[in-house]
Amino acid sequence: MTFLAPIAGIVAAAITAPLLVLLYFLKLRRRPVRISSTLLWTRAVEDLQVNTPFRILRPSILLFLQLAALACLLLAFARPAIQAEGAGVGRMIIVIDASASMDATSQDGNLSRLEYAQDAAIDAVKRFSRSASEGFEAMVISFAARARIVATYSGDIRLLERSIRAVEQTDQEGVVDGALKLIEAQLARFDESAAAQRTRVLLFSDGDILTGAGRASAGLGDADFQFVRVGPAPGAPLDNLGVVALSAKRDFEDPGLLRVFARVLNTAAEPRTAALNYSFNAERIGSQSVEVPPAEENQPGLAPTILELRENRRGVLTVALAGDDELNADDAASVAIAPPSNVTTLVVLESRQRTLAINLLERVLEIATTIPPIIYDIDEYERRRATAALPAHDLLIFDGVAPAAPVDRPALFFGVAPPESRIALVRDDAQEGASRRFSAWQRRHPLMLSVNLDSVIVEGADRITVAESPDDDARLSSTTELAWGPDGPLMIEQELGATRRVITAFKIEESNWPLLPSFVVFVSNLVDRLGVGPGAAAGLSFSTSDVVSAPAPPGARELVLTGPRDFSRTLSTSATGRVSFGPLAIAGLYTLRPALDDHARFPVNLLSERESAIATRDRVEIAGRDLQGAGVEDSAPSEIWHWFVIAALAFLTIEWLAFAWRMRI
């Protein structure tokens, strides 16, 4: 047992204990009264024998009971607490989940999960600071799609409290990997001499987070992890309807016909009727009712819907749910609609010789873009590029060959690394000619939606590696692994400024993928994500984790981006004449001024089944550790002063009964 306020208890004891004992030293002062006889006043005579202000302290059961009651009250005043295992740590890292699901409100609608997490984190800081045997210090990290340090190590409790309150809610998915890297970097600051003072990491989350496949990290050392769950208990009733998918595509044969696809999620245990309102440029164009099935076995109900309309104008189409629920970020989603256009593609080969795989690729591209692709060999491509006779294409595909100079257009590289990139393709000599299969892939990534790689066989694929340092290209914003083989990633996506490129570890001829239906789906997704034609241009939108950028008007040096929640940011154009916004963490419609007409409005949506499900979990796997959800009081000192107050009341009750027994007639 420890005392959280020992000084206060000592001071109170130094004042009250002597006063209580002094009362028993004092002699009672009585008024003299003449009486006829003292025969019946034996005890009174005994008291009159000493006529001094003080008397000798005599044993008294009442004194002992009063001292016991006073001792209990003084102990309670010193705030006794039971020390939990490891609670005396002097260093602590507060990690707070700020993903979209943390904005879900409680059933009474008073506080969000993030606000509950902030309250619990502040309580943890106060508890641990009182119990630390040495100087206490803590830092604060928040995470969603990306992690950031809110406050570095500090022992100022008020500063830490303000920092915890400063954690901002986002509409992004929760990915804890970035926070783990920050924790590793902080732990690396302390040498082995400080190992005795363990660092406690407190994760405040609803538990529905994404991790790096549970991989252990040696950099986390002996850090003591604890997961504090916020939100309702797993399996508790949830009430949320959300738009989790939205896309708009024009009919290939009739480009004036626009089809809008949406999917609605239901977390309730009973079926719900969702009222969808459609608007174009803030003008209502229709509504639709969708019957959404109930959630079953911890899986929310999903219902797709399609709306067809004739629209050739440029504008923003918004789908909104009517009514209130526990999460607001997914109640509406928007997509930017562009007039009909076509995607032009260029395929660059090693030689003029056509293979079956290339013929199939050509046919699939023609179906996806409505126009046949142009096919060059690498020599013709370089000759045209050198003479500035290379046509401007919306999408470039390189099969087994890399251009001599970087390309500034969206591109797909089969079995080759782009020039001036941080990517290298490594082939193990022992695996030369061996067949490989995909072991996993990101099924929810836009490029991999509805793509099944189970039947794909690759002959002698390379392994993709990405250099750690981004110094070779400052424009490189992110790298995303899309699919993995037994030895590492086989497919990745990179963002270079405003341009996306996809790299595979194998040539198209080295696999049976072109023979499978999933290849058609992948190419269609590729055109939608990287192209600017009837797939993507008809319905352009961004997620809250995407890096958003746009070309700036000629001569513009500063632009202003405005958005929801009074968002406003002044931006500067880059040397290439583009402006990059980075990820916009709050869902809504953003407007850029001044801007080209084609790049003025940017719809940013949540569109995440995981976050809209607002599920909670009692167990999470972090860095290879299985963590059971617990409360702050399970690791911090648990105060037991109220038991001492109860004991003091009990002693006072016994003392009153004893006094009444002595005073009975």
DSSP assignments along 566-607, one per residue: TEEEEEE--TTSEEEEEE--S-EEEEEES--GGGSEEEEE--
> 333, 364, 123, 371: which is closest to 247 by C-alpha?
333
Question: What is the chain's length?
Answer: 665
Distances (CA, A) of 338 to 277, 305, 500, 607, 649: 21, 21, 20, 21, 77
Contact call for residues 403 and 413 (beta carbons, < 8 A): no
544-604 to CATH, choices 3.40.630, 3.40.50, 1.10.3210, 2.60.40 = 2.60.40
> 286, 291, 292, 247: which is closest to 265 by C-alpha?
292
Q: pTM of the prediction?
A: 0.64
Phi-psi region of 561 (alpha: psi -120 to 50; beta: other; left: phi over 0): beta
* Domain 241-340+606-612: assigned CATH number: 2.60.40.10
All structural domains of the chain with their residue ranges? 2-80+648-662, 91-236+616-636, 241-340+606-612, 345-530, 544-604
Specify the pLDDT at position 28. 55
Specify the pLDDT at position 195. 47
The 10s digit of each residue's pLDDT in 368-382 is 777 889 999 999 999
Please return the burial class of 498, using the count of CB atoms within 10 Å of its CB with bins 0-12, 13-18 and 19+: buried
Q: What's the angle, vertex CA 358, arms to CA 357 and CA 360, rounded to 5? A: 65
Contact call for residues 280 and 300 (beta carbons, < 8 A): no
258 Cβ partners below 8 Å, 6+ apart? 248, 249, 250, 251, 308, 309, 310, 311, 337, 538
10-residue stretch averages of pLDDT, the chain, 665 residues long: 73 82 65 69 56 60 82 81 58 93 79 92 85 77 93 92 94 90 82 59 89 54 82 89 90 76 94 93 90 90 91 88 91 87 84 85 84 90 86 87 87 87 71 77 85 88 65 58 87 79 89 91 84 52 84 80 86 73 90 78 92 91 77 61 84 84 69
The tokens for 96 are 């707070």
Q: In what order do the strands lie in the sheet with 224-229?
A: 147-154, 137-143, 91-97, 199-205, 224-229
Write 39-44 long-range contacts (CB < 8 A, 24+).
Answer: none
* Domain 91-236+616-636: assigned CATH number: 3.40.50.410
How would you label 140-153 residue by residue, b for 16+ Cβ within 10 Å and e otherwise? bbbbbbbbebbbee
* Domain 345-530: assigned CATH number: 3.40.50.880
Specify the pLDDT at position 196. 45
Instruction: Report phi then psi at 652, rounded to 5.
Output: -65, -35
Where do the DSSP E strands lie in 155-310?
199-205, 224-229, 241-250, 257-266, 272-280, 283-292, 301-310
Same topology for domains 91-236+616-636 and 345-530, yes or no?
yes
Helix (H, G, I), strand (E, B) or coil at 43: helix
Specify the pLDDT at position 657. 85
Helix (H, G, I), strand (E, B) or coil at 440: strand
How many other CB atoms are found less than 10 A from the CB of residue 665?
A: 2
Specify the pLDDT at position 116. 92
